Amino acid sequence: MALVNNHNGRHGGGCSTGDEYVLFTIPFSHYNEHARWAMHSCEACEEGADASFGSFTERAYLVGIHAMSALSPIPELRARARAKNLTETPLLARVKRTTSLGWWNASEDLEVVAINSWEVASKAANIRRVEPVSDNLKELLDNVVGPAARTIVYSHLLKDDAGDAAMCVFCLAPEISWWQRLIFSIKPFREQVRQRIHKGLVRSDAYVEKKRNQLDEALKELERMVDTQTHTFGIAEDGKPTPALIALASVTAPLVCPPEFSIPFYGRNVFDLQGLPPLMREDVLRYRETRIGQVCMETYRKHRLDYATPCTGKL
């Protein structure tokens, strides 16, 4: 399909000719961070590997706006809206550029490569030639920990004006494209988005409490796995965190807000503790005291920025 490209953010090395990878994201999502980190882990891979996988373009959309695919001014999103099951992020595509004028690409062909973070991570593991995430860990993170973390965080961000103000810090940041900031700054639109998220992900106090209980049990199981499978949650032969450790850290990151979490996209920490709603800050500090919270914080501190070039471009 012929598409018109827009300004975007570049990770890794400079633009190259020929096939390139494009990662569509919600920049502050933990699942999108999982895909981003998995791709970053492929930077500086050994000769003969698909080196371009670790040097990619990220095209970021705010929550709510990402769902307006059919009406989007971005051709890629309109194309995705015409394809079933391709309306969520992260989505990874390979782009074959035929005409290029600086940041503006007059023509490009889009081929979908992966439609979720686990498919991206699997491809990254193959490129690195390391053991991929096990089915048991994937099921626990994808079905319990990830959804629970999302519900708990949104229960704070959607609660009151303090939550709205915290959300605006990263949604209206200058790293986000001007047209998305303009749309999201319209309070009636933002309230509609907040209501939809609340209805789908937060629902009620009882539902949030249920997710908390499920998360507590899952964290105990993760702790057992980490303590008994040290080789799985460690450093691989290529000197980088294993796919399992990357998955664990990125999916649990919203619970503990590591200072490095937002740097690969924003180039700075936009989740500073002092800017969070008081009850969310209490939650973050509590989860940081858990064994898994400590593993997450340590992994981000020691390894997240090793191969992560901040994405500074805009759509």
Least Cα distance to 245 among 91, 41, 58, 44 occurs for 41
3-class DSSP state of 22: strand
Q: What is the pLDDT at residue 19?
A: 61
Weakest-pLDDT range from 21-25, 169-173, 274-278? 21-25
- 202-233 pLDDT, tens digit per residue, is 999 999 999 999 999 999 999 999 999 999 99
Helix (H), strand (E) at residue 16: none
Q: Which long-range contacts (CB under 8 A, 24 or more apart) does 194-198 make?
A: 194/158, 194/164, 194/167, 196/64, 197/63, 197/64, 197/154, 197/158, 198/154, 198/158
How far apart are alpha carbons 45 and 51 in whole angstroms?
Answer: 6
Any residues with CB less than 8 A from the CB of 173 and at least 6 apart, and which? 266, 270
pLDDT for residue 9 is more than 80: no
Q: Looking up tokens 């990402």, which residue turns up?
A: 66
What are the phi and psi torsion angles at 98 (to 5°)? -110, -30
Q: How far is CA 33 from the centre of its chain?
A: 3
Any residues with CB less than 8 A from the CB of 225 and at least 6 apart, and which? 136, 137, 232, 233
Q: How many CB atoms lie within 10 A of CB 141?
A: 26
Q: What is the pLDDT at residue 314?
A: 46
- 109-119 pLDDT, tens digit per residue, is 667 888 899 99
Four-CA torsion 92, 94, 99, 103, nearest 10 degrees: 30
Q: How many CB atoms lie within 10 A of CB 253?
A: 26
* 279, 233 contact by CB (below 8 A): no
Query: What separation, in Å, do the N-terminal and C-terminal C-alpha atoms of the chain show?
Result: 20
Least Cα distance to 132 among 112, 147, 118, 143 occurs for 118
Q: What is the mean pLDDT of residues 230-238?
A: 95
Q: What is the pLDDT at residue 2?
A: 24
How far apart are alpha carbons 152 and 209 in whole angstroms?
Answer: 9
Average pLDDT score over the chain: 84
Counts of helices then strands in the chain (DSSP H, E): 13, 6
pLDDT for residue 87 is more than 70: no
Distances (CA, A) of 178 to 88, 107, 172, 185, 314: 22, 23, 9, 10, 8
What's the pLDDT band for 17 if we cut at 50, 70, 90? very low
Any residues with CB less than 8 A from the CB of 71 and at least 6 apart, and which? none
Q: Residue 112 forms beta bridges with which residues? A: 93
Q: What is the pLDDT at residue 143?
A: 97
Q: What is the mean pLDDT of residues 48-62?
A: 75
